[in-house]
Amino acid sequence: MWEINRCTHVRRDRQRGVYAVEFSLVAIIFFLMVFGIVEFARMLYIFNTVQEVTRIAASAAIHENFRDTDRLQRIREAAVLRSGPGILPLGAPISDEHVRIEYLSAIDNGGGNAELTVIPQSQLPSCPIRNRHICMADPTASNCVRYVRARICEPGNTESCDKAHVTLMIPGLNFTVGIPHAAFVLPVESLGYMPNMSVCP
């Protein structure tokens, strides 16, 4: 009798061990799937939201003075849904520093087509009214601001727009995903010009 009870206990102990191993294997697969689904949804959110970020930034910048650095900084912050410097909600590490606002001229390339070219900061007109005078005299001038472009770029390198990267949040996976280039271009509006604005040098 004692022998039978002992065998039964041994079998139960073995079964418990098998259940524990099976549960751990199933749990690992289950949690990997859950993290994978959440991460996939977060990537889709970021990919779609950065497009909206550039649209918001460009739509605001076409009405603001390109020389007002404080106002442009507030535009970048508002574009990433913040009221101050910070990271896009659920979109780390994308922040206001990733939002680049550029001013473009439409230079005639000789074939009857205009080529959009970034105007360097040093060559921008001194004020919005000066830009109006330049563009009225020659709409294809290299320093005539005709368009505004907002892009998502890796901060630091101003020479080119390097693709921003997002790190996956799956535990144990140190893997980054490049964000597709997001850009939005709009023709300028007032650029902060007011009828009573004084002429700048």
- % of the chain residues with pLDDT over 70: 89
The arrangement of strands across the sheet holding 183-187 comes to 114-118, 99-108, 147-152, 183-187
**Mean pLDDT, the chain, whole residue set:** 87
Residue 84 has pLDDT above 90, yes or no: yes
Q: What is the dihedral of CA 118, 120, 75, 155, to 10 degrees?
A: 90
Contact 180, 47 (CB under 8 A): yes
Predicted local confidence at residue 2, as pLDDT: 45
Distance, CA of 157 to CA of 116 (rounded, Å): 21
Nearest in space to 50 (alpha carbons), one of 39, 58, 38: 58
Tens-digit pLDDT profile for residues 96-105: 999 999 999 9
- Does the pLDDT at position 45 exceed 80? yes
In this structure, are residues 165 and 175 in contact, taking their beta carbons and an 8 Å threshold?
no
Per-residue confidence band for 169, with pLDDT thresholds at 50, 70 and 90: confident
Mean pLDDT of 150-160: 90
pLDDT of residue 9: 53
Residue 10 has pLDDT above 60, yes or no: no
Q: What is the pLDDT of residue 199?
A: 73
Q: What is the mean pLDDT of residues 106-131?
A: 88
Range from 105-109, 127-131, 182-186 carrying the lowest mean pLDDT: 105-109
pLDDT at residue 12 in the model: 57
